[in-house]
Amino acid sequence: MLTPVKIAVMVSGGGTNLQALIDAEASGIIKSGKISLVLSNKADAFALTRASRAGIPTAVVEKKDCKDASDFESRLIEMLDSNGIEIIVLAGFMSILSERFTSHYRDRIINVHPSLIPSFCGKGFYGLRVHEAALAYGVKVSGATVHFVNEIPDGGRIIMQRAVEVREGDTPEILQRRIMEEAEWKILPLACELVAKEIREGKLER
């Protein structure tokens, strides 16, 4: 029997997308992979509590404990590689990763972005800023995108997208919540399973 692909989820905050992944694994949506590590750059991230409750090993690497950005990434890589991680999911990980890091894990890092890329994405577009920009532009449809991560912010190959209606009277907070519930929490687990299955079956080199 093929062994599950080891997944690490990298977090910085509350971990709502992590919870969606945990729930998806528990319900069998994610079956080709197993969340084997939750790695945070913030020691007080509530996502670590979510992981502990689910019995998932956790680790913390904080920039303040590192000599510089290169040392920070070296410690992340050491933690991931020593745990045999094969897929990295960025779930609200609030730190830009260099080309050195992303090329080390080419076609192994996935991220969910709260818009339909190529709209409202790239440097400076994160969190509520994305939804503020979408509403200011007057779009009638927004959504979420899961994509591979490379050295260009939100520039990697698209894996999956889902559209969400923008409604009259939406605030950035209301739109953010709808996109999370109707798109992000749905397609992130599906994309994670898709990539894990391809790795497991040898379609992406393991």
Q: Give the rounded distance of the alpha carbon of 101 from its chain centre.
A: 15
Quick check: 47 pLDDT over 90?
A: yes
Mean pLDDT of 93-122: 94
Does the reported pTM lie above 0.85? Answer: yes
What is the structure's pLDDT at 2? 76
| Domain contains 27 | yes
Radius of gyration of the chain (CA): 17
> What is the domain count for the chain?
1
Query: pLDDT (tens digit, 9 = 90+) per residue, 49-63?
Result: 999 999 999 999 998
Quick check: 37 pLDDT over 80?
A: yes
Query: pLDDT (tens digit, 9 = 90+) per residue, 130-162?
Result: 999 999 999 999 999 999 999 998 999 999 999
| Domain contains 147 | yes
| Domain contains 22 | yes
Question: Which CATH number goes with the domain that contains 185?
Answer: 3.40.50.170
| Domain contains 168 | yes
What is the structure's pLDDT at 180? 96
| Domain contains 157 | yes
Question: In which residue are the tokens 């745990």 written?
Answer: 83
| Domain contains 205 | no
Whole-angstrom Cα distance, residue 10 to residue 136? 31
Whole-angstrom Cα distance, residue 94 to residue 73? 13
Q: 104, 113, 131, 147: which one is catalytic?
A: 113
147 flagged as catalytic: no
Average pLDDT for the chain: 95
Give the residue numbers spanning the domain of 187: 5-200
Quick check: 18 pLDDT over 70?
A: yes
| Domain contains 144 | yes
Quick check: 1 pLDDT over 70?
A: no
Closest CA to 181 of 33, 23, 12: 23
| Domain contains 136 | yes
Quick check: 96 pLDDT over 90?
A: no
Question: In which residue are the tokens 């299955």 written?
Answer: 197
Quick check: 206 pLDDT over 70?
A: no
Question: In which residue are the tokens 């687990």 written?
Answer: 189
Contact partners, residue 189, CB within 8 Å, separation at least 6: 20, 21, 23, 24, 25, 29, 30
What is the structure's pLDDT at 22? 98
